[in-house]
Amino acid sequence: MFDFSIFTTWFDALLRDTLGLGDFWSILIECVLVGAGILAGYALIAMLMIMMERWVCAYFQCRLGPTRVGFHGTLQIFADVLKMLVKEIFFVDRADKLLYAVAPLLVIIASVGTFSFLPWNNGAQVLDFNVGIFLVTAISSIGVVGIFLAGWGSNNKYSVVSAMRAAVQMISYEMSLCLCLITAVILTGTMQMSGIVEAQTGAFKWLIFQGHIPAIIAFVVFLIAGNAEANRGPFDMAEAESELTAGHHTEYSGMGFGFFYLAEFLNLFIIAGLASAVFLGGWAPINIGVDAFDTVMNYIPGIVWFFGKTLLVVWLLMWVKWTFPRLRIDQILKLEWKYLMPLGLINLVIMTVVVALGLYIK
């Protein structure tokens, strides 16, 4: 498998040794390039998610989806982006202007920050700390504050109700999300994202194979909790159009609304990316212990494996959204506090026993 750190090491040496730049300018140039790459990747993947959502929705509803702008509607998303960029940005009367303006920024900062932890390829992790799992959960929690401030600062009764629903739902489901990640940490013995992926390289070494039943349970619970954390159907009670119009972003227009819109779709990709990295091997290829087969699989770049697995999970979550009806808020909270969290706690104890007794696949 190609190690992307070979390229990054060469580029760093080019700036420092060949061009003779000092530490300050080398680090500054590298940070600017990495930041630009993150923002470009964030925007491109968001557009891909929006188009994919429309096609999947159309397929499940026996419709055609976008067809008019571009070849088979492929340019529809660019028309939507242009429309969003030129729309007027207005402020609501009697709204808290500071909270109203800060809320979209908090949501997008939390989304971009979590997005930066995804392990794209071997040696291509943008942020890769030894407490990566802890930081992912901490940074993603900032989005809850942004959503609540958006509803409260809008001075709109529908937005306030939506913000309250979103806050209680996201805080609740973070419990199950963290329990599933801790289960994976216990099995791999590390909280570093690259370390978790590296622990899954080899024949049948993905966590759902290594940890067998407890890991599979953690994977399923993670998908359910992640779907709720991203406010996706059937957990989209915070944006119930039939009773709350557009929810917490009812009073937003232009790029204020665009930030919420982008963050919602990228959070779906982030949840799928974390599921892929933690439970499905991330950039690690499929290896079954047969030399000829494993050699061919290892020639496929790691970023292809990561994107393939992540898009597969995204498609699965979209399938769930367009299949099941929206749950009531009491049903959403009952599912978490009476079923998922107790199941996650029991599963965590079982995984601890499995690891202590060495019953997992080594």
The ranges assigned to domains in the chain are: 88-356
> Alpha carbon 342 to chain centroid distance?
24
Angle of the 132-140 helix axis to the 157-188 helix axis, nearest 10? 170
Task: Please tell me the predicted confidence (pLDDT) of residue 268.
Answer: 92
For the chain, give the longest Cα–Cα distance. 68
Task: Please tell me the predicted confidence (pLDDT) of residue 1.
Answer: 61
CA distance 110 to 79: 27
CA distance 173 to 152: 21
Residues 6+ positions from 145 with CB-CB distance below 8 Å: 106
Task: Please tell me the predicted confidence (pLDDT) of residue 124.
Answer: 85
| pLDDT tens per residue across all 362 residues of the chain | 678 888 888 998 998 888 888 888 899 999 999 999 999 999 899 889 988 998 899 998 898 888 888 888 888 888 888 888 888 777 777 888 888 889 999 999 999 999 999 999 888 888 888 888 999 999 988 988 888 888 888 888 888 888 888 888 888 999 999 999 999 999 999 999 999 999 998 888 899 998 889 999 999 999 999 999 888 878 888 777 667 677 788 888 888 888 888 888 899 999 999 999 999 999 999 888 888 898 899 889 999 999 999 999 999 999 999 899 888 888 999 999 999 999 999 999 999 999 999 888 77
Which amino acid is residue 11, in one-letter code?
F
Task: Please tell me the predicted confidence (pLDDT) of residue 244.
Answer: 67
Angle of the 23-60 helix axis to the 302-321 helix axis, nearest 10? 40
Task: Please tell me the predicted confidence (pLDDT) of residue 260.
Answer: 87
CA distance 50 to 55: 9
* Placement of tokens 């759902």 in the chain: 208
Task: Please tell me the predicted confidence (pLDDT) of residue 310.
Answer: 95
Strand partners, 119: 125
Angle of the 254-279 helix axis to the 157-188 helix axis, nearest 10? 20
